[in-house]
Amino acid sequence: MTALTDAPPAYLRGAPAAKLPPPPDRAGILAWLRANLFSSPANVALTLICVVLIAWLVPPLVRFLLIEAVWSGDDREACLPSPNNPHPGACWAFIRVWLSYFVYGFYPIGQRWRVDVFFAALAFGIVWMLWLSAPRRDIGAVYFFVALPIASSMLLRGFPPIGLIDVSTTLWGGILVTIVVATVGMVASLPLGILLALGRRSSIPVVRILSVIFIEFVRGVPLITVLFMASVMLPLFVPERLAPDKLVRAYIGVALFASAYMAEVVRGGLAAMPRGQYEAAQALGLTYWRMMLLVILPQALRVTLPNIVNTFIGLFKDTSLVFVVGIFDFLRTIEVARGDPRWASPIVSITGYAFAILFYFICCYSMSRYARRVEARLARRAAIKGS
Amino acid sequence: MEKRSEASGVDPGLPDVAVEIIALNKWYGEFHVLRDIDLKVARGERIVICGPSGGGKSTLLRCINRLEDWQRGRIVVDGIELTDDPRHIVAVRRDVGMVFQHFNLFPHLTVLENCTLAPIWVRRMPKHDAEALAMRYLERVKIPEQAPKYPARLSGGQQQRVAIARALCMNPDIMLFDEPTSALDPEMVKEVLDTMVELASDGITMLVVSHEMGFARQVASRVILMDDGQIVEINEPKGFFEQPQHERTRLFLQQILR
């Protein structure tokens, strides 16, 4: 002790140290290149490999898809080798001719404006829901989850009292079906998945066991099987004249399947919540549902957002399996069109698949980008909150 | 809304006994965590519970608003017996405020929203009134300027004061404090204790699990020592600190008052 008190202070600050701004970042292209591409021998090697790969892949792809592509024509002749074009590329003429089939399926030509209206209404709803600072998102939610499904159902299926003639779902096809099945699956699986996740953590044994059985059973079975079951077994339980049509059975199958996965995703988020949050909510006298809706789920869903979107992306691509129960989704319409004798040729098939890849990629990549942006925004907010 | 006016004492409509605990026994598996607890807390009393960790202090406190259940014995709060009936549990929780060691504020809500959540959704108070009420209590804990911020931007002491305001917004008859200063940096302990001292002078019934012996001396009506799941000694602060009756109490006081 004596040493501490008796020794003269070795150092005593006289004036306060100046508060300085941080030094500027090292800028410039060269600095960026060195930091990101050539920072270590392994990095240099990777960079070179990537350059070689790009040089090897990209030019032929561009040549095939754009430079040598055939943009117009009425049948396969246009896309075959000819003196003018000895190595024809992608046959976009095929896509142009069949585009309306890819979008609408066999939806009657005179009624297709109804599908366009549906697409517009859906896009409007999606933007309203996804744009986080949009006005009155509560009304948006009602529009999206209540008004839109009812109105679209009347619009697309037909509602004779207001002059919309019935259009059987067997005529629906293409992107229309893909979008409808995916949207129904997403809109239904989120709430169902939340309920199942809550059920799995419930203190009531019956609820818990039923939830576990449902989740594990559905997750343990391939989607194709679920679809077959929905289309074959459902009519066994429901009287013939009440039996829902094929498309509705597919919705149910997809929605049930997705909700089992969603349940596990949401459960992860719920498990990540500290116990103190539950206790604080209970101590304030909130009932179970209020606690969940006001305190737990808003936080848990935020944590899970990337995984929710991941499930949605999987679901979107899985919709291409509904063809097994005889529904003409987008991919199936391409399959049908490429087999048309007037067009059939290897290049036409490749073009059809390239178009499908483009469509699925654009849809899934935008979902993924959106999720990343929301995540970044939440992280930023958390940083502001925490700083 | 004004069940109890700001500075007055007791609502005459409530029974004189705020909390009655009768032959309470609780086990965690094989571990007998609460052993035969009997305790009667009169309205307006301020009880400080201390004792070594693992002695069952927090568990006992958490039984009073049924965050923990028990196997044998009874607890009656404000004349309502706590049973498995969720209506009784919610009725008790509405009247019993709780402050936690780790604050447990809701991070996704602002300070103001933290305070108005329960009044709006449990007491069914109009939003405007709830906000006015919340601002009054935030002023009382001296941080009204923090109302629009998110909890993570506040210091620990400020967060704990928000937690106190949040509990007070339900106009509780009884306040439970579970080691309210243990998670705080030393510099911030005082601001929270000052708030609690002020609250004590209002005559609200308080049960506080704490090792702040200065606080116990100053405001407690009775001090309890719990060890090994039992109540070892209950005494008025003067007797408790100056003439502890039980050997265990003497030992404990020696340990912490060194």
pLDDT digits (tens, 9 = 90+) for A198-223: 999 998 999 999 999 999 999 999 99
* Residue (of B237, B55, B169) closest to A280 by Cα position: B169
Which residues on chain A are in Cβ contact (under 8 Å) with B118?
284-286
CB B202 within 8 A of CB B6: yes
Question: Smallest Cβ distance to B152: which of A274, A295, A385?
Answer: A385
Helix (H) or strand (E) holding B99, with range, is: strand B96-99
Q: Look at chain A and report how many structural domains it folds into.
A: 1
Q: Do A284 and B170 touch (CB under 8 A)?
A: yes
Q: What pLDDT is recorded for position A26?
A: 67
Question: How many Å lie between the alpha carbon of A376 and the closest alpha carbon of chain B?
Answer: 16
pLDDT category, B3, cuts 50, 70, 90?
very low
Interface test with A, best of B94, B99, B117 (most A CBs within 10 A): B117
Residue A14 lies in a domain: no
- Separation of alpha carbons A126 and A186, rounded Å: 12
Size of interface A-B (CB pairs under 8 A): 66
Per residue in A79-123, pLDDT (tens digit) is 888 777 778 888 888 888 888 899 998 888 888 899 999 999 999
Contact between chains at B121 and A387 (C-beta distance less than 8 A):
no
- Taking the Cβ of residue B248 and every Cβ of chain A, the question of whether any pair is shorter than 8 Å is answered with no
- Put simply, the answer to whether B67 touches A283 (Cβ < 8 Å) is yes
Other beta carbons within 10 angstroms of residue A356's beta carbon come to 17
d(CA A286, CA B118): 7
What is the spatial order of strands in the sheet that B31-42 belongs to? B31-42, B17-28, B72-77, B80-81
Q: Across-strand partners of B46?
A: B206
For chain A, residues with pLDDT lower than 70 are 1-9, 25-27, 240, 243, 382-387
CB-closest option in B90, B96, B100 to A280: B100
In whole angstroms, what is the distance from residue B50 CA to residue A143 CA?
56
Q: Does some domain include residue A192?
A: yes
ipTM of the complex: 0.90
Whether A175 contacts chain B with CB within 8 A: no
Q: Which residues pair with B175 in a beta bridge?
A: B97, B206
Higher pLDDT, A303 or B137: B137
What is the least distance, in Å, from the CA of B240 to any CA of chain A? 31
* Within a domain: A37: no
Least confident of A125-134, B17-26, B238-247: A125-134
The residue assigned the tokens 């629906």 is: A172
Is A359 domain-assigned?
Answer: yes
First to last CA, chain A: 39
Q: With 0-12 CB in 10 A as exposed, 13-18 as middle and 19+ as buried, what is A378?
A: middle
What pLDDT shows up at residue A384? 61
pLDDT at residue A137 in the model: 80
Q: Indicate whether A369 belongs to any domain.
A: yes
Residue B112 clears pLDDT 90, i.e. is over it: yes
CATH number for A220: 1.10.3720.10
Q: Is B127 on the interface with A (CB under 8 A)?
A: no
Mean pLDDT along residues B215-241? 92
Q: Using a CB-CB distance cutoff of 8 angstroms, which residues of chain B are in contact with residue A302?
A: 108
Among A277, A386, A387, whose Cβ lies nearest the Cβ of B104? A277
The DSSP bridge partners found for residue B76 are B20, B81
Residues of A in contact with B94 (CB under 8 A): 285
Q: Hey, is the C-beta of A283 within 8 angstroms of any chain B C-beta? A: yes
A139 at the B interface (CB within 8 A)? no
- Does the beta carbon of B82 lie under 8 angstroms from any beta carbon of chain A? no
Nearest neighbour of B98 by CB, restricted to A283, A299, A387 = A283
B165 CB within 8 Å of a chain A CB: no
User: In this structure, is the dihedral angle defined by the CA atoms of residues A58, A60, A61 and A67, taken in order, positive or negative?
Assistant: positive
> Does the residue A144 lie in any domain?
no
Query: Residue A1: inside a domain, yes or no?
Result: no
Which pLDDT score is estimated for A5? 60
Q: Please answer whether residues A198 and A236 qualify as being in contact, where contact means their C-beta atoms are separated by less than 8 angstroms.
A: no
Per the structure, the complete domain to which residue A255 belongs is given by 92-107+167-386
For chain B, the distance separating the N- and C-terminal CA atoms, rounded to the nearest angstrom, is 46
Structural domain includes residue A116: no
